[in-house]
Chains A and B, each alone.
Chain A
Amino acid sequence: MFKRLRGVFSNDLSIDLGTANTLIYVRERGIVLDEPSVVAIRQHNGSKIVEAVGVEAKRMLGRTPGNITAIRPLKDGVIADFQVTEKMLQHFIRKVHENSWFQPSPRVLICVPCLSTEVEKRAIRESALGAGAREVRLIEEPMAAAIGAGLRVEEATGSMVVDIGGGTTEIAIISLNGVVYSDSVRIGGDRFDEAIVNYVRRNYGSVIGDATAERIKQEIGCAFPGSEVREIDVRGRNLAEGVPRSFTLNSDEILEALQEPLAGIVQAVKSALEQSPPELASDIAESGIVLTGGGALLRDIDQLLSEETGLPVIVADDPLTCVARGGGKAMDLMDKRNIDLLSS
């Protein structure tokens, strides 16, 4: 009852609770929050205190003293640390309602990976309720991504969407507001970073952090040969000498480093195409595959998939926010037509 009263002063939120970033979309206001899913926790007299959340906490990753731990509470698209996720959600929900006089109690729609188990879904639902939400709805990530990318999901034509997130890559074939086929592989932006770290250690004998690897990926990373070669100066700790050394990496090297995770994504996309019903496969062959998620920003990844599958591949506008925006639209759809977009 009290929650409902507080709800009058809260907005409906669509949350893309991702492994790497959490985005919140509010109806009529757009994306209001885009922060890394990182929480820094300070141990104080045996109790845990949240030190920082989001951007601030991410800056602390790998740079913390003994009593502070910066953790990412989500792993592979699902909750790894229930309590910390709850705290993080609470912080984000409050941040969105900064000018509110009341403690917010919004209706919340959260995107979940399509192959998440009942236990994982329940964990997400419970943590959102614990964070103060008065009603929690779940939607499959690729469905939200497809709606956010502007695909006509309600029509009787097949659309294929590949959402390359931080922890997972979700592949789904969608028709008539439902997911016909879906697959999820635990390869995403994090695996790209890891691959770069490993490559640098192997070939340069130097250790770099995840944050540096991410910067390398964003600045010179590419998925398909042929475009101009870019370079970047990187500093890392040399394993043999034990002192920081500077060296230069180029985009061809990064392409080589990313071969393994990229091959995994290509393989998953191919197997999805293999298993799609023939009518939908022909629809997809005609219109093409749509890429969303942060991974879609990797240079020339569309060309790689296009080359490998022989289909046109399109990167959606603003791929990072597709899922959150799609979730917002899905909430409107659910309200208007009283349908549930969670097919499983």
Chain B
Amino acid sequence: MTAETNNETPVEESVDLLTPGGFLQKEREEQKLNEKEVATKLRITRSKLAALETDSYDQFPGETFIKGYLRAYSRLLKLDEDAVLQRYFDYVSAHSEVSQLITPSRPQGVVSAMAVERMKTPISPLVWIGFIALLAIVVVWFALQDSASTANVDETVSVAEQVGQAVTETQVEGALDAENLATESAQADPVVQPDQMVAADDVIQPSAPQAVETKRAASDVQAAGALELRAPDRLELQFADECWVEISDANGDVLATELQAAGSAITLQGKAPFNVMLGNVKAATLALNGQSVEVTPKGNNRALRFVVGSSNQ
């Protein structure tokens, strides 16, 4: 474009100030052509030619046509087409307010803009928004899942306690046969799973001091509860497979942080509630003060962190 404007400089100074229409009209008069001749050659009506020469561009059905007519006109007068079009662009950008909205498209400018666009291909803001949204969803999902799993454990713990109580009550009634007890408790509460029956079995193994203690507790459940508040709580764990264990009690004392071998069992004493973290939930069997605690793993996670003996104790 600059080259074209330089080409114009040999023409008189005043010519530079002329509008495209005025410039064409002046050139036409210099070449001694009348309007009728030009209109016939351009195949447009005389009113259109007059509109072109007076820069009344709103009479044309679109910029494409204006530019086309200007080109044809300048070709007819043997003028530089691009120079005339440049005048038109300058005129439009200077005079018409509407043109601010519909900026005339300059072919060369368009091409260079395209070249620039081809060079840089930015990641659209939409992609960024998508990423942020995805990240937010993931964070929220994890947070929800975490809280849901602890709530679930609390529920299962309380359910297990109720089952444990049912077991001790049946003991009070004098039904000492372990097998019968297990089946009865299973009938009493269909929630109890077969593996829990095993747990109930373990609880009522006839180890002497334990039996004494359970009987004492059974004599008066409430009194026993009160006693247990004072006495240190006992958490028993048995492992069918290797399992990492981290347990701390209500005072914050760490009772165990170690890997337990398959088939091992540990008994810990401390103040309930216990914060328990198990590396392999399925392999572990828990009992709090002789009452078995059922722990259901959440989803496919093997590891689980939960609290035992929080509400009722």
Show the binding face of A for B, using Cβ within 8 Å.
Answer: 8-9, 11, 29-32, 98-99, 149-152, 155, 157, 159, 286-288, 290, 302, 306, 310-318
For residue B117, give the distance in angstroms from its CB to the closest CB of chain A: 5
Are the C-beta atoms of B68 and A314 separated by less than 8 Å? yes
Interface size in chain B (residues, C-beta < 8 A):
30
Contact residues in B for A290 (Cβ distance below 8 Å):
64-65, 68
Contact of A312 among B72, B114, B126, B127 (CB under 8 A): B72
Please name the residue on chain A nearest to B123 by beta carbon.
A99
With contacts A290-B64, A317-B67 known, is A8 near B111, CB below 8 A? no
A288 to B61, CA, bound (A): 10
Most chain B CB within 10 A, of A8, A9, A11, A317, is at A317
Measured CB to CB, the closest approach of chain A to B185, in angstroms, equals 47
One of B41-49, B170-178, B299-307 contacting the partner: B41-49
Q: Which residue in B43, B60, B130 is a CB contact (below 8 Å) of A8? A: B130
Residue of B nearest to A26 (CB): B117
Nearest residue (CB) in B for A314 is B68
In the complex formed, the residue of B with least CB distance to A310 is: B43
Q: Is the CB of B114 within 8 A of A31?
A: yes
Q: Is the CB of A318 within 8 A of B68?
A: no
Per-residue contact bits, chain B 51-80, to A (CB 8 Å; 1 contact, 0 not): 000000000111111011101100000000
The answer, among A29, A149, A155, for a CB contact under 8 Å with B64, is A149
- Knowing A29-B117, A312-B72 touch, does A152 contact B105 (C-beta < 8 A)? no
How near does chain A come to B284, taking the closest CB pair, in angstroms?
A: 40
How long is the Cα–Cα vector from A108 to B117 in the complex, in angstroms? 20
Contact of A151 among B62, B117, B126, B127 (CB under 8 A): B62
B209 at the binding interface (Cβ < 8 Å):
no
> Given A9-B127, A317-B105, is A288 in contact with B117 using a C-beta cutoff of 8 Å?
no
Q: Is A152 a contact of B123 with CB atoms below 8 Å? A: no
Q: Once A and B bind, how many residue pairs between them come within 8 Å at the CB atom?
A: 73
Verify if B107 is at the interface (C-beta below 8 Å from A): yes
Which chain B residue has the least Cβ–Cβ distance from A9?
A: B127
Contact flags B110-141 to A (C-beta < 8 A → 1, else 0)? 11011001100101101100100000000000
> Across the interface, do A98 and B121 meet the contact criterion of CB distance under 8 Å?
yes
Residues A150 and B63 in contact, CB atoms below 8 Å apart: yes
* Given A30-B114, A99-B123: A314 in contact with B130 (beta carbons within 8 A): no
A310 to B40, CA, bound (A): 9
Contacts of A8 in B (CB 8 A): 126-127, 130
B68: nearest residue on chain A (CB-CB)? Answer: A314
* Distance between Cα atoms of A164 and B257 in the complex (Å): 82
- Kindly supply a per-residue 1/0 record for chain B positions 171-211, scoring 1 wherever the CB is within 8 Å of any chain A CB and 0 otherwise: 00000000000000000000000000000000000000000
Partner of B69, one of A30, A157, A312: A312
- Taking the nearest CB of chain A, how far is it from the CB of B47, in angstroms? 10
Known: A317-B107, A318-B107. A312 touches B42 (CB 8 A): yes
If A30-B113, A306-B43, A312-B44 touch, whether A288 touches B130 (CB-CB below 8 Å) is no
Point out the residues of chain B lying under 8 angstroms from A315, CB to CB.
68, 71
| CB-CB nearest in chain B for A102 | B127
* Residues of chain A with a CB closer than 8 A to B65's CB: 287-288, 290, 314
List chain A residues, Cβ under 8 A from B68: 288, 290, 312-315
**Is there an interface contact between A32 and B127, defined as CB atoms closer than 8 Å?**
no
Contact indicator B121/A157 (Cβ below 8 Å): no
A292 vs chain B, min Cβ distance (A): 10
* Additional A-B contact list (20), CB under 8 Å, known A9-B127, A30-B117, A314-B72: A9-B130, A30-B113, A30-B114, A31-B114, A32-B117, A157-B61, A286-B48, A287-B60, A287-B65, A290-B64, A310-B43, A312-B68, A313-B68, A314-B64, A314-B67, A314-B71, A315-B68, A317-B67, A317-B110, A318-B111
Q: Are A311 and B127 in contact (CB under 8 A)?
A: no
Contact, CB under 8 Å: B110 / A318: yes
Question: Which residues of A sit under 8 angstroms from B117, Cβ to Cβ?
Answer: 29-30, 32
B203-235 contacts to A (CB < 8 Å): none
Closest beta carbon of chain A to B307's beta carbon, Å: 39
Instruction: Give A313 to B65 CA distance when docked, in angstroms.
Output: 9
C-alpha gap A99/B67 in the complex (Å) = 38
Q: CB-CB < 8 A to A302: which residues of B?
A: 72
Which of the residues A98, A99, A150, A286 comes within 8 Å of B62, measured between beta carbons? A150
- Give complex CA distance A11, B68 in Å: 33
B130 CB contacts on chain A under 8 angstroms: 8-9
- Tell me the bound Cα distance from A9 to B125 in angstroms: 10
Is the beta-carbon distance between A316 and B64 smaller than 8 angstroms? yes
In the bound complex, CA of A31 to CA of B68 (Å): 23
Q: Write out the residue numbers on chain B whose beta carbons fall within 8 Å of the beta carbon of A314.
A: 64-65, 67-69, 71-72
> Nearest chain B CB to A152's CB is how many angstroms away?
5
B121 and A99 contact, CB distance less than 8 A: yes
A191 CB, min distance to chain B CBs, angstroms: 25
For the complex, give the distance between the alpha carbons of A151 and B65 in Å.
Answer: 8
In the assembly, what is the distance between CA of A99 and CA of B48, in Å?
50
